[in-house]
Amino acid sequence: MADLFHLKNASFAYGDKTILQNLSCSLTENSFYGLVGPNGSGKSTLLDLLSGNKEAGGELTFRDRPLSTYNHRELASEIALVPQEFSINFDFTVQEVVMMGRHPHIPRFANPDDKDRQKVQSVMKALGITKLKDRLLTRLSGGEKQRVIVARALAQDTPVLILDEATASLDIHHSIKILQTVKNLVTSHNGTVIAAIHDLNLAAAYCDTIIMLDQGKLARIGTPEETLTSELIGQIFDIESQPYFDKFAGVGQVAFRY
């Protein structure tokens, strides 16, 4: 299978402060990647590099082409990002915000067509926000806003979806709804999801591959069983745990005892 992203000695620094150093790995299509690590380990920075918001030192290619050579519209048709922090201060309705995800597909000076409207309705229904469609985004709770921003990214209908702690402010019901929806993107539409997830149980339950960062370095990449071990969790998170994996129970049945 051809590489989707390829990193070789990828690094990033703010001035004299190194955030990521010498990351080398390859990410393939049709997979759900979970990015885990303590606060400050470089997760958000790595996602910014992969989405083209920051430029990496070293090599970073997307579909065998340097990521830095893609223009904004090209990236917007390939990669959708749900950032950890976002701000929309104008009085847009929920439906208008979700429709913003369709902009890469709408010709300049044209209006949304039936396909655009159908896509917006579909993702709002999937995330349970249809009843909010006429509400102003500025009047929503933090969790409701987060679901709207995820819906906007899904409406963008890209082969790659990047989530930066997209479920951090949500209750478990809505966290599972979002992760199940994006999991369907992988299984039904051959998409690729790369998600920073703070909850190791959710990461183990939904992700095919775990990318574990520690102090800006790649600590391990592999299946949940290979990476989320008592030894590595203790080493990186400084906690004792007893992970277990029930192969036959399905999604949601992986758990850690702390």
| Confidence band for 258, pLDDT divided at 50, 70 and 90 | low
Q: Cα–Cα distance between 98 and 112 in angstroms, integer?
A: 12
**How much is the pTM?**
0.92
Q: What was the pLDDT predicted at 253?
A: 45
Contact, 31 vs 186, CB < 8 A?
yes
Query: pLDDT per residue over 31-42, tens digit each?
Result: 999 999 999 999
pLDDT in tens, 137-190: 999 998 999 999 999 999 999 999 999 999 888 899 999 999 999 998 888 888
Confidence band (pLDDT; 50, 70, 90) for 75? very high
For residues 12 and 57, the answer to whether their CB atoms sit within 8 Å is yes
Which is higher by pLDDT, 82 or 109? 82
Dihedral sign (CA 79, 85, 89, 91): positive
pLDDT in tens, 42-66: 999 999 999 999 999 999 999 999 9
Q: What is the 3 state secondary structure string of the chain?
A: CCEEEEEEEEEEEECCEEEEEEEEEEEECCCEEEEECCCCCCHHHHHHHHHCCCCCEEEEEECCEEHHHCCHHHHHHHEEEECCCCCCCCCCEHHHHHHHHHHHHCCCCCCCCHHHHHHHHHHHHHCCCHHHCCCEHHHCCHHHHHHHHHHHHHHCCCCEEEEECCCCCCCHHHHHHHHHHHHHHHHHHCCEEEEECCCHHHHHHHCCEEEEEECCEEEEEECHHHHCCHHHHHHHHCCCCEEECCCCCCCCCCEEEC
All structural domains of the chain:
3-257 (3.40.50.300)
Q: Give residue-wise pLDDT tens across range 188-212.
A: 888 999 999 999 989 999 999 999 9
Count CA atoms within 13 Å of residue 44 on its CB side. Answer: 11
For the chain, the average pLDDT equals 91
Residue 82 scores a pLDDT above 90: yes
Between CA 193 and CA 179, with CA 6 as vertex, the angle to 5 degrees is 10
What is the pLDDT at residue 50?
97
